[in-house]
Amino acid sequence: MKPVARFWRIFVIFFVIFVSMVFFPYQRIDAGKAERLASLRLHFEPISQASHSLSPSLSPQQNPDHRISDLEAALRARRADGAESAKNIKAVPRNRMEPANRPVNDRVAQLRRELYQDRVQETRVHFRENAGTPRQIKMSPEARRRGAVLEKAVNIAGSSQRERDEATARNFLRSRRGMLKISDPDRELQVLRYEKDHLDRRLVRYSQKWRGLDVWPAELNVHLDAEGNVDLLNGSFVSTPKRMVSDPVWSAEQAVNQARQTVDGGDKAEAGKTELILYAPGDRSPRLAWKIQLTVSYDADWLVVIDAANGSTLTAFNRAPSLRIAGSGIDVFNQRRDLSVWRESGVHYMIDTAKPMFDPASDFSSVNTIKGAIIIFDMENTELPDAGDFNAPLATSTRPDSGWVPEVVSLAYNLSETYDYYRQRHNRDSINGQGGTIFGFVRVGKNYDNAFWTPEMQGVFFGDAQPYAAALDVVAHEYVHGVTSHTCNLVYRDQPGALNEAFSDIFGEMVEYRTTGSTDWTNGTVLPSKRSLKDPANDQIEDTGYYYPSKMSQFYSRGNPLLQIFKDQDYGGVHINMTIVSHCFYLLAEGLPGAVGIRDAEKIFYRAQSVHLVSNSQFVDMRLACMASAEELFGADSPQASKVAEAFDAVEIFENATTPAPRPMPAVSGDDAVIFLSDNPAIGASFLARYEAALEDGVMGAWLSCYDIAPARPSVSGDGSMVFFVDSIQDACFIETDGIDCEECLEFEGVIHSVAMSADQQVYGFVLLDEGEPTNAITVIDLRPEGQTRTFPLVATATEGESLNTVQFADSMCFTSDNQYLIYDAYNVLNFQDGTRIGVWSIYAIDLLTEQTLALVGPYSDADVGYPSLSRTTNHLMTFDLVDVEAGETLVIAYNMISGEFDVVAVVEGEWTVPGYSPDDSAILYSRPDPDVATGYSYMRQRLEADRLTPRGGPAIFIEDANFGVTYRRGAYAAPAPDIDVSSGVLAFGNVAVGGVSSLPLTISNTGTGDLMIESISLAGPARADYIIRGGCAGQRMTPSGNCRLFVDFLPAAAGVKAASLIVESDATTQPIINIAINGTGVAKTDTGNGDKSGGGGGCFVKTVLDQ
């Protein structure tokens, strides 16, 4: 077994009931399938998940790539108002194709009519069930009797019979490229041999190629009759891969070593021919792979195919004998711990297979195929990677009961105890709840002072500067971050982020309580920095002179001086304000008179976390979730429910309306139209096309671009007037959708890999090429008055602000409607000590305000994810492709990133469908293989229920012969923007007795169409000390139509007029700062005039406004 990690999630792929359909291989989701999907908790992250990392951008001055400044200048010139002189001056570049007589092409129309009507009806096609490509094409018996053929013989003067036959065969292959699903038959099909038989029939056999590599095993035969007409095609081949990475992650040497491990006696085998191929057996998606011949003996000549992206064995593998045994070791605190270890070939590995989650059928040739174990790696003080290298050997010893590194023993024991806690107390099987393997890493870096969880590797990492791995509650703290990411997916900033951290501290102490029988209510007791759940105010925050809060009146808002000390204001104080909630748990469990006890308290909080909370839950939502959980567990009138309310009251988190769902923006009015790619069979290239009924486009649409384009999804503006795309010579181009003028390009031939344009046409994303390969950075050019040009190096993410530079490049991109986030998919390569490497796809987001990278979806070991696209009227619904690489099927996923709900909208044979929402979000549209059209795909429309997730009815064809579609409506588009309103511009208390108290409410509402961030609420003015805020909203992000209620208390200490101001700061576009006048008069108790107004209370939850 190779003692080096290959880390990624073992993903549970859906088992789909196969229904073969000849021309449209679509699969409906039956009731059993739907029930199966509903039982799965897929790990699809919200847009601001706990897994995050800083990705500081580079300005054009800082960026060594001089092309950035030139690109910005070219973009600004093309988008400048009144730049009429830029039109129609572009010369025809080399290697571009131009359709004749655009937009009407008689030859194209004739070919299409022939393809759709005449020949299809006379042709008999048998398709391969999984590959979706023809196994045989021939004319019908009736057509043959009439003398019809698939392709008539060409007549080339002065040519040989073979030359004429090959030319005829080529014409046939070009005309049937859509049915064959071969994008470029001239390049992808290479003549293997030419034969002539005694009947004077001829055969042209082709091997399949992809970017110069053999596609194996794949061949295709074109048969010609005695007159040289094509009358039959047969073979076994696959469609052109849409998105295959051609650069192998595993080297040939590594692949041979891996192959040796799969064969009995492989260490002594003679390695023969080794070649890089595209492995395409037809029953699964093609994979880049190494084909290796290993000869062990005369009767054992092995052919092994190793996946070049992840090192898995695609054709065969063998499990080496191994054995689980009992072991032990001395931990960091000199305690002997009993352990379960794995022995193989005389070496002992710190791999715990004794848990109920372990799958005895696991393959131990790689840690990636060990299912349900706890695996410990020793990084041996290797630094975190800064260029993709990642050294992490498995922890080993020559004996089961000695020779272990103490940190390895500590982490193995603590992870085991944490697993047992969740299994016994909450019936939760591992971090993901599905028995997923747990990875732990010790001795990270040199003097590395941090610990973190990363979903990229389903692992916890512990630096060497402190005894992190030895602290049971600290290990459990990071473990719980994983649990949170698989349950409520709390946004890692402001109040949701503080809840995220609070859960980790709370259950860290609960793990400690189960293991030791008691808890000190202090997280990180053995560390210099610690947090108390019992008495937060007793612990100073990192020698700042500030102390942890225990109630909402001590909450640190973003404007507080303390948060300015920390990077990014600690994302709104997530590691600080968390103690308010953790202290609430202590009170519920033990601190209040008649407290419910630890066992009941942990049940309530776990149910709140796993059942009720969602990604954007605020503190008040936590109160409501715990109330609901207590009532469900113990009854509505139970003592437990009563104590929950009492505990939250004690920390001043009062009941209020829950966080509302975002209000949809109004959709652009009009009829749905679509921009798409369509093949021109007369030329053999793809062009932009349009279908818009209002412009009297025919049922097949109309050509739009003058030149051929790259096979990628274009961007369309929110008002439907403009398209931004990459053409065939890798330049970025604009074209108006009215089709009056040809495209205008930036004149950056060979430089652009992919592009994105915001709905308001103000912000643009670019992935550039370097020597023909995409770079691992995204350049964002913001044309707004205060906008900047920034280049973001691409990083993978982890908790606690860490990052791993494993991303190779980004591909498909899109902006949220408010231009705050850029969503993209990216290819990652993880490298390990002995050269082991893994290639995986993930979906990420860059927060363009905070410059954080956020992990949204993936990676998964046996599935690819890609082509993310957001809904048009909200920013929290996303659709994307999830490709089952084994089954060769694509699941179109619709996902609500706030609630965590998702559904499968369609199941399609093939790899990528490039889905997207309709302009009003009432449907999802996607490409589906269609063998009867030149492009090979047609554009489907699947209606949705009101939740915008659940499919309603079956799919319908929106337009034939279309791929990479984007729907739009032509009309006025308004970009979303937050706005703020307050219930009163003046808080007038009148007369209040000295020493008394009077309260007045204030409601803050988001009346805009974008999220509103309440950045701070503070008091100002000469008499501010006479007023206190209870139930503030600072640090809360409100969705459109959301509101929050607070109370201001007037407590006059002396007689006289008391004037002050309540200042509300937000990111509202119209009123970022609101100044609310406050006045009242303190009077003697016998002279209140209008009566004593003391009393009041309530509100949503309290916020500190006094200076800290």
1091 pLDDT more than 70 = no
pLDDT at position 764 is 97
pLDDT exceeding 90 applies to what percent of the chain?
A: 33
325 pLDDT more than 70 = no
DSSP sequence for 659-700: PPPPPPPPPPPS--EEEEEEEETTTTEEEEEEE-GGGT--TT
Q: Which residues pair with 1000 in a beta bridge?
A: 1048
| CATH code 2.120.10.30 for 48-74+671-968 | yes
pLDDT exceeding 70 applies to what percent of the chain?
A: 81
510 pLDDT more than 80 = yes
pLDDT at position 282 is 66
27 pLDDT more than 60 = no
| Per-domain residue ranges of the chain | 48-74+671-968, 134-236, 252-307, 980-1083
512 to 422, 473, 516, 766, 1097: CA distances (angstroms): 12, 6, 6, 49, 38
**What is the dihedral sign for C-alpha 165, 167, 169, 175?**
negative
Q: Give, to the nearest 10 degrees, the angle between helix 406-426 and helix 598-607.
A: 80
Cα gap 535→380, rounded to integer Å: 38
Residue 35: count other Cβ atoms within 10 Å of its Cβ: 9
pLDDT digits (tens, 9 = 90+) for 716-768: 999 999 999 999 899 999 999 998 888 999 999 999 999 999 999 999 999 99
837 pLDDT more than 80 = no
Maximum average pLDDT range among 283-297, 350-364, 993-1007, 1079-1093? 993-1007
Contact criterion met (CB below 8 Å) for 75 and 783 = yes
DSSP 589: I
pLDDT at position 321 is 27
DSSP sequence for 296-308: EETTEEEEEEEET
pLDDT at position 1032 is 59
**What is the dihedral sign for C-alpha 842, 846, 847, 853?**
positive
Query: Considering the chain, what is the average pLDDT of its residues?
Result: 80
1073 pLDDT more than 90 = yes
Cα gap 179→233, rounded to integer Å: 12
Contact criterion met (CB below 8 Å) for 604 and 645 = no
Q: Which helix (H) or strand (E) holds 633?
A: helix 619-634
pLDDT at position 1069 is 82
pLDDT at position 943 is 95
Nearest Cα residue to 928 out of 318, 7, 28, 3: 28
Q: Which residue has the higher pLDDT, 297 or 140?
A: 140
Cα gap 58→35, rounded to integer Å: 48
DSSP 469: G
Cα(first)–Cα(last) distance of the chain, in Å?
Answer: 57
pLDDT digits (tens, 9 = 90+) for 809-820: 999 999 998 888
Average pLDDT for residues 509-524, to the nearest whole number?
Answer: 92
Give the CATH superfamily of 980-1083: Immunoglobulins (2.60.40.10)
pLDDT at position 596 is 95
**Cβ neighbours of residue 896 under 8 Å, at least 6 residues apart?**
876, 877, 902, 947, 948, 949
**What is the dihedral sign for C-alpha 507, 508, 510, 511?**
positive
- Encode 873-889: b = buried (16+ Cβ within 10 Å), e = exposed: bbbbbbbbbbbbbebbb
Average pLDDT for residues 503-510, to the nearest whole number?
Answer: 94
660 pLDDT more than 70 = no
Q: Which helix (H) or strand (E) holds 135?
A: strand 134-139
pLDDT digits (tens, 9 = 90+) for 1026-1048: 998 876 577 777 777 778 888 89
DSSP sequence for 701-763: -EE--SS-B-SS--EE-TTS-EEEEEBTTS-EEEEETT-SS--EE-S-TTTEEEEEE-TTS-E
480 pLDDT more than 70 = yes
**What is the dihedral sign for C-alpha 112, 118, 124, 129?**
positive
Cα gap 170→50, rounded to integer Å: 54
Count how many Cα atoms sit within 13 Å of the Cα of residue 61 in the half-sphere of its side chain.
Answer: 1
pLDDT digits (tens, 9 = 90+) for 56-85: 667 777 777 788 989 999 999 888 743 443
pLDDT at position 868 is 94
**Cβ neighbours of residue 627 under 8 Å, at least 6 residues apart?**
641, 644, 645
Lowest mean pLDDT: which of 90-94, 358-362, 534-538?
A: 90-94
Q: Which residue has the higher pLDDT, 391 or 1057?
A: 1057
Q: Which residue has the higher pLDDT, 967 or 236?
A: 967
Q: Which residues pair with 797 in a beta bridge?
A: 803
pLDDT digits (tens, 9 = 90+) for 428-439: 999 988 888 899
pLDDT digits (tens, 9 = 90+) for 161-216: 999 999 999 989 988 877 787 878 888 998 988 988 777 888 898 989 988 899 88
Cα gap 215→1061, rounded to integer Å: 73
